Amino acid sequence: MIEIKNIRKSFGHRTVLKGISAEFKDGITNLVIGGSGSGKTTLLKCMVGLHEPNSGSVFYDERNFTSMNFEARTHVRTEIGMLFQGSALFDSMNVEENIMFPLNMFTELSFKEKRDRVNFCLERVNLAGNNQLLVSELSGGMKKRVGIARAIAMNPKYLFCDEPNSGLDPKTAIVIDELIQEITEEYRTTTIVVTHDMNSVMGIGENIIFLHQGTKWWEGSNKEITTTDNKELNEFVFASKFMKKLQK
């Protein structure tokens, strides 16, 4: 479980997060939704310590991450898997080396065990057999999936995904959503997914946080989201004509 308390973050004069508190339970997929530029990525980065929040704190299973020193954070970080919005694959390495990298760094497994783990992860993201491709040879969607494979390589306790299915076709997007859901339930990870894909919201949104203007505007589940009378949230959810029709 991850708990955040009153996270504030500004860049220069611009305040992006204005005091956000939330609880993310393990074993369910927690979604963070919101318009472009609403601070979703910033919130995620504050949680994992890539941005230092101006105030507030983050707790990983009761451990106060914000007040930890470098060594203690390193320990927590080996339990974190993260998919970046731009995939952030190491472009000097091929697919296999990318996924194997955390295993090389932090485990004492034999090469064969590591190779098996890589193949297992690649299979889960439907990329089996693509071990030797270079990062520059991957399509945008493939990069995303390799990014996910790398994020789950170490069997993380905490999984952060920044827009895991943007740029994917609807079918693969659902496969990825289901994969994230499966991993979350199977290993009881605490999973936080940033998205603005309404299919994901309806599909896997057991706990949804809607960010608007730097605050937590709404919180609930995918069952409640269609019936809420929150104006901004409705505008967000029913932005497309298709969804509007559905609403009626």
Partner 1 sequence: MIFYPLGKYILLLKAVFRKPEKWSLYRKEIFHEMNYMGVGSLGIICIISIFLGAVTTVQTAFQLVSDLVPKSVIGGIVRDSSILELSPTISAIVLAGKIGSSVASQIGTMRVTEQIDALEIMGINSPGYLILPKIIGAITMIPLLVIISIALSIVGGYLAGTASGAVTPQSFIEGLTSDFIPFTFTVSMVKSVIFAFIITSVAAYQGFYTHGGALEVGQSSTKAVVISCIMILFADYIVAQLLL
Ligand X SMILES: Nc1ncnc2c1ncn2[C@@H]1O[C@H](COP(=O)(O)OP(=O)(O)OP(=O)(O)O)[C@@H](O)[C@H]1O
CB closer to partner 1 out of 45 and 212: 45
Tokens matching residue 178:
């289901």
CA distance 95 to 144: 12
Tokens matching residue 27:
């074993």
Q: Does 11 bind ligand X (CB under 6 A)?
A: yes
38 binds, among Mg ion, ligand X, partner 1, none (CB under 5 to 8 A by kind): ligand X
CB closer to Mg ion out of 78 and 85: 85
Nearest-CB residue to ligand X?
41
Among 4, 29, 39, 149, binds ligand X (CB under 6 A): 39
Residues paired with residue 29 on neighbouring β-strands, in sequence order: 191
37 binds, among Mg ion, partner 1, ligand X, none (CB under 5 to 8 A by kind): ligand X
Among 29, 42, 66, 87, binds ligand X (CB under 6 A): 42
Phi then psi for 109, rounded to 5 degrees? -65, 155
Would you call 25 exposed, middle or buried from its count of C-beta atoms within 10 A (0-12, 13-18, 19+)? Answer: middle
CB closer to partner 1 out of 88 and 202: 88
Stretch that binds ligand X, among 20-28, 37-45, 170-178, 185-193 (CB under 6 A): 37-45
Nearest-CB residue to Mg ion?
41
Dihedral angle, C-alpha 35, 173, 218, 10, nearest 10 °? -50
11 binds, among Mg ion, ligand X, partner 1, none (CB under 5 to 8 A by kind): ligand X
Q: Does 195 bind Mg ion (CB under 5 A)?
A: no
Helices of type H across the chain: 40-48, 70-77, 95-106, 111-124, 140-152, 170-187, 198-204, 222-225, 231-237, 241-247
CA distance 126 to 231: 39
Q: Does 36 bind ligand X (CB under 6 A)?
A: yes
CB closer to partner 1 out of 90 and 242: 90
Cα Rg, the chain, nearest whole Å? 18
Q: Shortest approach of partner 1 to residue 44 CB, angstroms?
A: 10
28 binds, among ligand X, partner 1, Mg ion, none (CB under 5 to 8 A by kind): none
The residues, ordered by sequence, that sit 6+ positions from 224 with a Cβ below 8 Å of its Cβ are none
Among 41, 66, 94, 200, binds Mg ion (CB under 5 A): 41
